[in-house]
Amino acid sequence: MRRVLAVACVVLAVAIAASAQFLGYVSNQSTTSTPVNNLSCTAALAGTPFLVQNIGQGAHIATALSGASPPTLLTYIIQGSYDGITFFDISDVGTGPSTANDITAVSGYGYYPVVAVKVLACQPGTATFTLKYSAISLTPGAPVGTTQSGQIIKHVANGAASNSTFSSNNTLRTPFGSSAGALYFQYLGSPGPSGSTLSVQCNSSALISGSGNIVASFPIAQTAISPQQIFAMPAFACPLFVVTYTSGGASAGTFLLDYAFVPAGAGPIPFQYTHVTGTTATVVKGTAPALLHTLTVNTGVASTISIFDLPAASCTGTPATNTVAVITTTTATQTYTYDTNFLNGICVKAANAMDFTVSAQ
């Protein structure tokens, strides 16, 4: 009996000692911080990346919050580093909220000894905003909700003046490696000046801003608050992009501009149409790259329609160079499918007046 009691006492003492030992945390650790707290654009761009607490996180989220007056342009990113000196991007580029008291977010993944949130661009200097950071030591899933929107939709300009040129600069990336998507443009307050344009320039990572090729250019209609104007962007490889608004003159209004990208595997980009009824050389797409989808003769005559690979400046008179096709038409309705890329632009001209429609990007 004494031996049994002695053994029981030893077991109890060991159990008590073991329960008093701290074996460490076994759950996944998370962290939350505010690396940019109501800072002005000037202050946020003045220093190095804002370091955040790092206790082994592998999934990272940065969220931008705006006050009553969001910045006209805001881009930010999550970065990692092995030495705290050289930083590299581990997330997509986030853009600032387009409306007051709204949020945007981007996500990144991977463990790095040093993690930071960096502001890439911010205008004007007096505008203020907040960036929050959160992370957990789990493998991140696919972006959903706000982080998915932050990957797909880039708020290029928010309330920018329509009487001056505006550029998104060279800090924005195409999230899926393709320019496929659409530009959403809207004048606010007052009608914009006539002659204004939007252009999209693609750069490689080795090129500085301003040295890439302008791959699309769109004339903007002179409208007031409504309607929103949508411009389809063709699909081609594009690592970095710059969107530029060129003002046509004086205006008291402002504008909003978003670039919405088409995720991989999504449906095709809608084609834009050009309706022709006369014999004047007509610009279907004034710049390259351009994709000719179809030409449909609606009400035909016995004649011809010529298609040329020419820029807008050369689509005048009776073009005689870069002929792609000469269609012999009849009175029958018929659709011709090409799905062909043009190197300069798309120009069409009918020898005799008829009604036809061209579908292109």
- Catalogue all structural domains in the chain, each as residue range(s) with its CATH number: 29-147 (2.60.120), 162-269 (2.60.120), 272-360 (2.60.120)
Residue 97 in contact with residue 104, Cβ under 8 Å?
A: yes
Task: Give the model confidence (pLDDT) of 102-152 as tens digits.
Answer: 888 888 888 889 999 999 888 888 888 899 999 888 766 677 677 778 888
User: Does residue 218 carry a pLDDT above 70?
Assistant: yes
Q: What is the mean pLDDT of residues 302-314?
A: 92
CA distance 259 to 245: 13
pTM attached to this predicted model: 0.65
CA distance 197 to 199: 7
Pairing of strands 153-161, 73-81: unpaired
User: Does residue 248 carry a pLDDT above 80?
Assistant: yes
What H or E segment, with its residue span, contains residue 41?
helix 41-44
User: Does residue 351 carry a pLDDT above 90?
Assistant: yes
Structure token pair of residue 122? 């911010």
- Tokens 């991989």 locate to 264
For every residue of 337-354, DSSP letters joined together read EEEEEESS-EEEEESS--
Q: What is the mean pLDDT of residues 237-251?
A: 85
Structure token pair of residue 220? 């903007």
| DSSP symbol at 312 | G
Count CB-CB contacts under 10 A for residue 256.
Answer: 18
CA distance 338 to 182: 22
Count CB-CB contacts under 10 A for residue 311.
Answer: 20
Residue 147 in contact with residue 61, Cβ under 8 Å?
A: yes
Task: Give the model confidence (pLDDT) of 147-167 as tens digits.
Answer: 778 888 888 888 888 898 988
Count CB-CB contacts under 10 A for residue 283.
Answer: 18
Q: How far is CA 32 from CA 1, 35, 53, 69, 78, in A?
A: 58, 10, 8, 25, 14
Q: Is 230 exposed, middle or buried (0-12, 13-18, 19+ CB in 10 A)?
A: middle
- Tokens 């909220």 locate to 97
| DSSP symbol at 116 | E
Instruction: Tell me the Cα Rg of the chain.
Output: 29
In the chain, what percentage of residues exceed pLDDT 90?
A: 25
- First-to-last alpha carbon distance for the chain, in angstroms, is 94
pLDDT band at 24 (very low <50, low <70, confident <90, very high): low
Question: Quick one: the chain helix, strand, coil %, rounded to 5?
Answer: 10, 50, 45
CA 173, chain centre distance (Å): 7
User: Does residue 276 carry a pLDDT above 80?
Assistant: yes
181-188, strands of its sheet edge to edge: 153-161, 254-261, 181-188, 229-233
pLDDT of residue 235: 77
User: Does residue 53 carry a pLDDT above 60?
Assistant: yes
pLDDT band at 211 (very low <50, low <70, confident <90, very high): low
